[in-house]
């Protein structure tokens, strides 16, 4: 197959798909240290859907997220954000695409300590030289309950509030898709539940597309769909998950991976 010919099945060409990976493979190292972190993974993320990515430690969750978000380049296969094929972009275009069309939420809140909450939220727009859409910004800020805290600096906010700032920052640019890597990993269960609730609201109320890597079945229970990775392969999928069902599926996969 040539680089330009269509894949035998191509989720990225389906309307309503915010992002898609096709036959995505990522190999780190070579010889004795060679690791196949992703092994021909094909997956589409539908617009307005909240997907959780789960699987045992080292199965390739972060690698999938990094490749899908254009933070890392695949060894082979393709990634599309909307209709844009990432491999066709140069470094500057890729940086621009990440800034304009992808939102990120990491375990560490990654806020700039000298800026206020509002300045942190609008920083990506400021860097891009754009005026934020005030109506949209008001809606996002109200949704994450930060209206009274906009003048505070990160050190004056709790961990949960800081992560809400990071959620608002990710939503502010109306990205095609938001990727979260363990976004509640540093939060206690109450603050984590709040942040997960806001992510779910952003999908239900604002039509946002969200993909979240998590180890936590409770967090996955907020998603519309859970995909399970094992050894760099997509092995299972669940719609309308509950924490109990996710936990059962993880146990089954764990048993299977130890007996196969």
Ligand X SMILES: Nc1ncnc2c1ncn2[C@@H]1O[C@H](COP(=O)(O)OP(=O)(O)OP(=O)(O)O)[C@@H](O)[C@H]1O
Name the residues that contact ligand X, by CB under 6 A.
28-29, 35, 37, 55, 57-63
Tokens of 18: 């915010």
Shortest distance (Å) from residue 56 CB to ligand X:
7
Residue 123 and residue 154 in contact, taking contact as beta carbons nearer than 8 Å: no
Residue 223 and residue 180 in contact, taking contact as beta carbons nearer than 8 Å: no
Residue 104 vs 198, nearer CB to ligand X: 104
Question: Distance between CA atoms of 53 and 214, rounded to whole angstroms?
Answer: 6
Shortest distance (Å) from residue 218 CB to ligand X:
16
Four-CA torsion 224, 171, 139, 142, nearest 10 degrees: 80
Residue 66 vs 98, nearer CB to ligand X: 66
Q: Is 174 left (phi over 0), alpha (psi -120 to 50) or beta?
A: left
Shortest distance (Å) from residue 211 CB to ligand X:
13
Element (H, E) at 227: strand 225-230
What angle do the packed helices 189-206 and 134-143 form, to 10 degrees? 140
Residue 57 vs 260, nearer CB to ligand X: 57
Shortest distance (Å) from residue 6 CB to ligand X:
28
DSSP category for residue 36: E
Shortest distance (Å) from residue 174 CB to ligand X:
27
Shortest distance (Å) from residue 213 CB to ligand X:
6
Question: Distance between CA atoms of 180 and 102, rounded to whole angstroms?
Answer: 11
DSSP string, 60-76: SHHHHHHHHTTSS--SE
Shortest distance (Å) from residue 125 CB to ligand X:
30
Residue 34 vs 190, nearer CB to ligand X: 34
Residue 61 vs 98, nearer CB to ligand X: 61
Residue 65 vs 81, nearer CB to ligand X: 65
Task: Give 76's strand partners.
Answer: 25
Tokens of 107: 């375990």
Question: Distance between CA atoms of 246 and 148, rounded to whole angstroms?
Answer: 37
Residue 85 vs 231, nearer CB to ligand X: 231
């Amino acid at each position: 197959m040539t680089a330009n010919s269509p894949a035998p099945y191509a989720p990225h060409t389906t309307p309503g798909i915010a992002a898609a990976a096709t036959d995505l493979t990522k190999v780190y190292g070579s010889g004795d240290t060679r690791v196949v972190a992703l092994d021909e993974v094909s997956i589409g993320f539908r617009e307005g859907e909240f997907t959780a990515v789960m699987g045992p430690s080292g199965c390739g969750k972060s690698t999938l997220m990094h490749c899908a978000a254009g933070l890392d380049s695949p060894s082979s296969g393709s990634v599309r954000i909307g209709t844009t094929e990432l491999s066709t972009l140069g470094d500057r275009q890729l940086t621009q695409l990440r800034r304009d069309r992808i939102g990120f939420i990491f375990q560490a809140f990654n806020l700039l300590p000298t800026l206020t909450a509002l300045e942190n939220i609008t920083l990506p727009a400021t860097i891009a030289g754009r005026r934020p859409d005030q109506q949209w910004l008001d809606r996002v800020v109200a949704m994450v309950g930060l209206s009274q805290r906009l003048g505070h600096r990160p050190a004056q906010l709790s961990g949960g509030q800081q992560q809400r700032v990071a959620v608002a920052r990710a939503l502010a640019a109306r990205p095609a898709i938001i990727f979260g890597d363990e976004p509640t990993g540093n939060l206690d269960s109450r603050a984590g539940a709040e942040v997960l609730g806001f992510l779910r609201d952003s999908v239900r109320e604002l039509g946002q597309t969200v993909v979240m890597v998590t180890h936590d079945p409770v967090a996955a229970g907020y998603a519309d769909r859970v995909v399970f990775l094992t050894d760099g392969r997509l092995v299972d999928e669940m719609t309308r998950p509950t924490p109990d069902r996710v936990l059962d599926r993880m146990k089954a996969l764990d048993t299977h991976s130890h007996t196969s």
